[in-house]
Amino acid sequence: DVKVTQSSRYLVKRTGEKVFLECVQDMDHENMFWYRQDPGLGLRLIYFSYDVKMKEKGDIPEGYSVSREKKERFSLILESASTNQTSMYLCASSQEGDRGFDEQFFGPGTRLTVL
Amino acid sequence: QKEVEQDPGPLSVPEGAIVSLNCTYSNSAFQYFMWYRQYSRKGPELLMYTYSSGNKEDGRFTAQVDKSSKYISLFIRDSQPSDSATYLCAMSAYGQNFVFGPGTRLSVLP
């Protein structure tokens, strides 16, 4: 069964703290993604990666960085957390298939609150 | 104008009703149209996808795409309380990167 896991379901941090969100997939997928989900705005892509040590900026990369040292693990880093980064963070993975688009499989999400 | 628009709801219907969920979009390059379902405290899961214009049926669910109007719909027949979730439309020109709508929250009341 396809599995994407995220290290925490709920996280509370203080302004200025460095925050690490971890994502692991067990499907040997090439592609991994980090989104944030906010009411009325839907899912917005922060960063994605098509291969180990590769990263590409999404639509809203400011204030975030990522790390992909191993194929199965994709980390999102908030260098100095701010209150406007309070959100639900979703990790996803996908693999190129024969349908013309690559189905993305999502983790359960991490709800981050920055005080 | 947002690239993908979707009525956020919430939408409440009685059990057994026909539900219509819709999205409009502005990018004519989109070729793949998907519907994801997200239960409370879970990540989204792919429900259906369609390539280009036309209809696709899967059990109680029908997805429609009208590229000329830049409009897609998801119909749920004989809705059940277990259908209560947030439904997200997503679109892609090709391949990996999707653009998601904000989601419509649906409640089916027993």
Q: What's the pLDDT score for residue B95?
A: 64
Residue A27, burial from CB neighbour count under 10 angstroms (0-12, 13-18, 19+): middle
pLDDT surpasses 70 at B2: yes
Q: What's the pLDDT score for residue B1?
A: 63
Task: Among A10-14, A27-31, B61-65, name the one with the lowest average pLDDT.
Answer: A27-31
Residues of chain B neighbouring A107 (CB-CB closer than 8 A): 43
Contact B96, B71 (CB under 8 A): no
Residue of A nearest to B9 (CA): A40
Give the dihedral sign, CA B8/B60/B56/B96: positive
**Average pLDDT for A8-34:** 95
> Could you tell me the pLDDT band of residue B51, with boundaries at 50, 70 and 90?
confident
Q: What is the rounded average pLDDT for all residues in chain B?
A: 92
> Could you tell me the pLDDT band of residue B16, with boundaries at 50, 70 and 90?
very high
Percent residues over pLDDT 90 in chain A: 83
**Average pLDDT for B32-52:** 93
- Is A100 in Cβ contact with B94 (below 8 Å)? yes
Q: How many CB pairs under 8 A join A and B?
A: 61
pLDDT surpasses 80 at B96: no
d(CA A61, CA A77): 11
Residue of B nearest to A94 (CA): B96
- Cross-strand bridge partners of residue A34: A47, A91
Structure tokens at A89: 């963070």
**Average pLDDT for B26-46:** 93
**Average pLDDT for B48-65:** 92
Residues of chain A neighbouring B8 (CB-CB closer than 8 A): 39-40
Residues of chain A neighbouring B51 (CB-CB closer than 8 A): 99-100
User: pLDDT tens for residues B69-79?
Assistant: 999 999 999 99
Q: What's the pLDDT score for residue A2?
A: 65
